[in-house]
Amino acid sequence: MKSSPPLQLIRAQSGAVLVVALIFMLVIMILGLAGSMQARLRMHIASNSLSSQIALQSAEATLKQSYIAMLNGNFDGASFSSNSNGYYQLSTSSAPIWQQNISTASFWTNTSKAIQGFQGSSQYPAAYVVEKLPNVIAPGQSAGNAGNYGQISNGATFRVTTWAVGPQGQSPVILQAVFAK
């Protein structure tokens, strides 16, 4: 049979072990919360990085799509002077249309203002606009006696601006390329 501790010894204890145990549990809880917050932050960073990569790939695919459209002659029959349906004439008196609407999703998703492109896994399809630029002399060619000094009258130069966003409509990406035909 076990003997119980003397009553005087029980009264002499002040509960120090209980206080130490509570402090230890508090420290463990704070470390756990900090760890979970860190994990959540890393998850958001990874999600944003993935969204940016998806938007970039959509913009690149749309840029390639526009290049193929130019090679197939789709830009030849376009009316650039009407400044609509994604085809615009470069204006030196105002900012380019893409720059005026760089952060306006309603411009890029409107089919009468931009040409719809690759959609992929995004809720919005990527889009592009084509600006007809003044003709330029290709490297190694002579200007000759063209109508305007320094320009070739039979060439065509286009600036294509693509816009794409991530899967939930965030992380917009703008890419540009200049194509000469």
Tens place of pLDDT for every residue, the chain, 181 residues? 566 666 666 666 677 888 889 999 999 999 999 999 999 998 888 888 888 888 898 899 999 998 988 888 888 777 788 888 888 888 888 888 888 888 888 888 888 888 988 877 777 889 999 998 887 666 666 655 554 444 444 568 889 999 998 887 788 899 999 887 7
Residue 92: the pLDDT is 83
Angstrom distance (rounded) from CA 161 to CA 122: 18
Q: Residue 2's pLDDT is what?
A: 66
Contacting residues for 107 by C-beta, under 8 A, at least 6 apart: 101, 113, 114
Residue 111 pLDDT: 86
Pairing of strands 127-133, 173-180: unpaired
Q: What is the pLDDT of residue 162?
A: 93
Check residue 150 and give its pLDDT: 45
Report pLDDT for 52. 86
How many whole angstroms separate alpha carbon 54 and alpha carbon 9? 70
Which parts of the chain fold into alpha helices (H)? Answer: 7-12, 16-71, 97-100, 105-108
pTM (2 d.p.): 0.70
- pLDDT score, position 151: 45
Tokens of 102: 């760089």
